[in-house]
Structure 1
């Protein structure tokens, strides 16, 4: 029988390539031979610090939740998939019974099994099991890499929905990492007509300009919050009516609440510290709506359709590739901030 080899995180920066138990599926699951898996910012936080948001590393886990592969076995109650199907894996298995799941907001389920968290192994491995109805067939005109990269796109589609992006939106995106750039690309496809994106890394801004931003602003350490606000307004010629924080830094959230137009919307996508100090009162007195966007919700089909139709180009978004055996090197390179999207091939 084939061995299951996985990238297993034992502690901060302690990622090992080792054998992992072969998954056994139930009646409603499928067994997937993983072809490739992307590295996400939350993977990087877990790798670097052993924690990401509310998730803490308390035992070894398999990293990765941007997986795509071939179905090789289906459970007895599965009729939607068959052996040989190519699937993009929506990396969650909600309880289906809580009030949020019953309302259709399964991303808020208090007890989900979300891939690459304790109790729910990720997909940086050769073989992986998942509930069939959260595996989505990859259209014939998409590559496996695009199928894997659909996961962060599904996050940004949900975030742009929370932001109320529409034709004519003037958008500020704080952070030009993968999620920030995809927010810009998604917003452009949804009708945003003027987009500015900021970052502290010049190379990321260069990529952002190629992929969807009209304006870019390099944030320097010596800039005060007010200086950043003034520069944004000068470049846009106005205040943005939607601002999306895609980095999770307190400074970005402060700027978002200061710069957003009265009556506008701030959406926080990036995962930041447990507690931050922000100028909330001033924003609220101007009726600026402050919203969160957590993971994704019913947006995988939209993401796959958008890429398949050509509305969003993920090929140029994928910049680097590594084999599974060099997963640790890939994580270390991702920490530099230079690459946009890294795909690991099995």
Structure 2
């Protein structure tokens, strides 16, 4: 192993979820990178809805259950401070954004280029794999993506949710001139609206029942907004090329699919119910493709470029900043109406300290 001249401590402060609703800050050993890995000193970590689910409920449906102490956080950036024996030493000192996945690389899905669907995937902050609310993490070297100097640590961390949006646009077949309907103006909906415009969409219509969120969407890529309580999107004759659900609400999914025109695409991004009714007749008669999004593949270089050239703004999405001893407050900040993205800084006990 090769490392920076700066001293790497034996342990680092870590926020650990003991069980639903119970967090502690403890010292954990700093991991050693394997031959193909790098050791990253964490700079910033975004709070995701999945982190909140684990914190509040100890599970996400039947998909993953917290059965032992878990480190949350998977939207992360930092600096490489050590490399494994098979990694170029010149990478030490690089600022990077972390793609928080460890696929097996040899299964059928990995070989087909769908490594996000690897059945042996080890994903940050998904039980039993620890995440990044800690000082140092390891990741395979090719999943530590260099970021340009013009990207802040916060923007570099938020390349992860942007990667979800990029995957969504690819699956939605967004091209210049597309008409898109997005349900939900939360963090992912806002990032999807920006990304749709970056992909060339001529119209991006955002539906959300909260007026402040609709106003916010207009500042982040939406060309128009809909109050779904006052107007049913399915009855407005939109005939959009693509519908993107970032709400998880069954009624929003139903109405959104009904708003898709012939041969269009509906992409389900939001974490919703495990089952829901769909407008099958509309889907069948109009040959609509309905698909989901589960993480991402090969998105970080595109994400970094979209931010670097100003097509997507991530920095202004940060509405809360927290130290490692304030993770509880960070996880609960989503209850604030004005909250978009909260960032945790593991290197400080309190932000600004």
Q: TM-score range by the shorter chain?
A: over 0.9
Mapped to 2, the partners of 1:323 and 1:153 lie a distance apart of: 23
For the residue of structure 2 that corresponds to 1:241, the secondary structure is strand
8 Å contact from structure 1 (residues 81, 132) kept in 2: no
Moved more, 23-32 or 84-93: 23-32
Who is 1:45 aligned against? Answer: 53
Contact kept in structure 2, 1:23 and 1:31, CA below 8 Å: yes
Query: Which residue is 2:253 aligned to?
Result: 253
The CA distance in 1 between the partners of 2:10 and 2:106, in whole Å, is: 36
The 5 Å alignment of 1:1-346 reads 1-52=9-60, 54-79=63-88, 82-220=91-229, 227-230=232-235, 233=236, 238-346=238-346
Give the aligned partner of residue 6 of structure 2. Answer: none
- Deviation, structure 1 residue 306: 1.3
Which sections of structure 1, spanning at least 5 residues, go unmatched? none
**Whole-angstrom CA distance in 2 between matches of 1:209 and 1:281:** 33
- For 1:278 and 1:8, the matched residues in 2 are separated by 39
Scaled by the length of structure 1, what TM-score is found? Answer: 0.92
Structure 2: tracts of 5 or more residues without a match: 1-8, 347-353
In structure 2, distance between residues paired with 1:21 and 1:332: 28
Distance 1:273 1:229 in 2: 21
Alignment root-mean-square deviation, CA: 1.7
**SS of equivalent to 2:102:** coil
Q: Is the 8 A contact 1:171 1:196 kept in 2?
A: yes
Deviation at 1:269, TM superposition (A): 1.1
Q: How many residues align?
A: 337
Q: Normalized against structure 2, the TM-score is what? A: 0.91
C-alpha contact (below 8 Å) 1:257/1:280 kept by paired residues: no
Secondary structure at the aligned position of 2:334 is classed as helix
Q: 1:165 to 1:81 in 2, by over 3 A?
A: farther
- 3-state SS of paired residue (2:191): helix
